[in-house]
Amino acid sequence: GAGVSQSPSNKVTEKGKDVELRCDPISGHTALYWYRQSLGQGLEFLIYFQGNSAPDKSGLPSDRFSAERTGGSVSTLTIQRTQQEDSAVYLCASSLVVWEIAKNIQYFGAGTRLSVL
């Protein structure tokens, strides 16, 4: 697609329910990142995918959070047994991997605003 697409744009859920957030990266981008933006916390890294594998999951805040990527394209971030502190905007970014990885430019989707009541 032309840009990074995320769905849903907004999600309201009850505490304890599971949610799935979807990210469709820019076509041809093999690197995919999930970030979370909370009020007063800034933007924090959650997980990185290269193809379908996730070599860096260091930012996932607890074992309630998991993510997968299939076909080297779409990724799903799942939050189980949601808590109020999970309320945030979840942002996905993708980049075209070039040989000098530090020069990969990340482009962001519009995000999913998650509200846990």
Specify the residue, 15 or 101, whose C-beta has the smaller distance to other proteins.
101
Question: Minimum distance between the CB of residue 16 and other proteins, rounded to whole angstroms?
Answer: 28
Backbone region of residue 106 per phi and psi (left: phi > 0; alpha: psi in -120 to 50; beta: other values): beta
With CB under 8 A as the contact rule, which of the stretches 14-22, 60-68, 73-81, 109-117 interacts with other proteins? 109-117
Q: Calculate the CA dihedral of residues 106, 112, 116, 117 and round it to 10 degrees.
A: 150
Specify the residue, 20 or 107, whose C-beta has the smaller distance to other proteins.
107
Specify the residue, 101 or 117, whose C-beta has the smaller distance to other proteins.
101
The single residue among 8, 17, 28, 56 that binds other proteins, judged by CB under 8 A, is 56
Residue showing tokens 């020069």: 103
Residues 2-31 that bind other proteins (CB under 8 A): 31
CA distance 83 to 115: 10
User: Token pair for residue 9?
Assistant: 């744009």
